[in-house]
Amino acid sequence: MRNIWTIAKREYDHYFISPIAYVVAFLILLTTGIIFAINLYSYIQYAFQSFGAAPDISPVTGSFGFLLVLSVPALTMRLLADEARMGTLELLLTAPVRDFELVAGKWLGGLLFILSILAVTLIYPILLNGIVIGNFTLLPQLVTPSIDRQLMFSSYLGVILVSASFLAIGVGFSAIFTNQIAAFFSTLSAFVFLWWLIGFPASVLQGTAAEVFRYLSMQTHFYEAFNQGRIYLTDIVYFVSLIALGLFTATTAVEIRRWS
């Protein structure tokens, strides 16, 4: 377990010196910032016409799915592929570290980086909610009495689960390839498939077949549950299975590398 943490910490630190990570952080924060501002503006417009619900955080968290599809491949492509190319994989595979610990450490490092970006987006709910301590208003409230905290919690949990699943799949592809570009594009294809394509047959088919495709689509589990404030065990199971699948693939790929 300590090995996972050692590797995760090294990976997390590495993101802060890599230009790609900054580009990813910049793009995610810029996009969510614009979406937040536009949404807030339109809510205010509606408020003057005295209809529409109170603003909440779901437009920001909702945009994360699309952003993660594009950015996670860039964050995961080098994780194991680069170690293999640089020869440092030989160092890690001859250190007293289990293959799974190596893979899980890489995944956790990526997850911590995404969580750091997510932490920055907490500024949006804080802006909406304001900061009031006793009778003293530090930041004026835009929504009274407060924003929907359960919705916020569930949306963020959803984003974290989507990120964790994407990262696990990305680590898997990075373990399979020695070439970063190959890892990038195969990861991106897998995400496009899981996020958009796999859900299409559901709208054409009917009955059980449609249900199966609906269940397989990641969007269903995110937009129709977490991002609406609903937390179901089936959705959690779906994401945990994807994480397990990704990490298992990566571990197996590392083992195969030893044997070849």
Q: To the nearest whole angstrom, how small is the minimum distance from the Cβ of residue 249 to other proteins?
A: 20
Q: Is 87 in the site for other proteins (CB under 8 A)?
A: yes
Closest among 143, 120, 119 to 130, alpha carbons compared: 143
Residue closer to other proteins, measured from CB, 18 or 141: 18
User: 105 near 254, Cβ under 8 Å?
Assistant: no
Residue closer to other proteins, measured from CB, 15 or 43: 15
Residue closer to other proteins, measured from CB, 65 or 105: 105
Q: Is 230 in the site for other proteins (CB under 8 A)?
A: no
Token look-up 């937390």 returns 231
Give the C-alpha separation, 236 to 250, whole Å.
21
How large is the greatest C-alpha to C-alpha distance in the chain, in angstroms? 68
Q: Is 258 in the site for other proteins (CB under 8 A)?
A: yes
* Positions 127 through 156 that interact with other proteins (CB under 8 A): none
Residue closer to other proteins, measured from CB, 19 or 207: 19
Q: To the nearest whole angstrom, how small is the minimum distance from the Cβ of residue 90 to other proteins?
A: 5
Residue closer to other proteins, measured from CB, 5 or 223: 5
Q: SS3 for 211?
A: helix
Q: To the nearest whole angstrom, how small is the minimum distance from the Cβ of residue 257 to other proteins?
A: 9
Q: Is 10 in the site for other proteins (CB under 8 A)?
A: yes
> Site for other proteins (CB under 8 A): which residue of 23, 44, 86, 212?
86
Span near other proteins by CB under 8 A; candidates 69-77, 91-99, 128-136, 218-226: 91-99
Q: Is 98 in the site for other proteins (CB under 8 A)?
A: yes
Q: Is 252 in the site for other proteins (CB under 8 A)?
A: no
Q: Is 256 in the site for other proteins (CB under 8 A)?
A: no
Give the C-alpha separation, 135 to 53, whole Å.
27
- Read off the DSSP letter of residue 54: P
Give the C-alpha separation, 111 to 61, whole Å.
16
Give the C-alpha separation, 70 to 89, whole Å.
27
What are the structure tokens assigned to 69, written together?
């599809």
Q: Is 178 in the site for other proteins (CB under 8 A)?
A: no
> Site for other proteins (CB under 8 A): which residue of 49, 50, 94, 206?
94
Q: Is 19 in the site for other proteins (CB under 8 A)?
A: no
- Read off the DSSP letter of residue 172: H
- Surface-to-core class of residue 14, CB atoms within 10 Å of its CB (0-12 exposed, 13-18 middle, 19+ buried): middle
Span near other proteins by CB under 8 A; candidates 80-88, 115-123, 149-157, 234-242: 80-88
Q: What are residue 139's DSSP bridge partners?
A: 131
- Give me the sign of the Cα torsion angle 50, 56, 62, 64: positive
Token look-up 């995404």 returns 114
Summarize as ranges the residues that interact with other proteins (CB under 8 A).
2-3, 6-7, 10, 14, 17, 86-98, 258-260
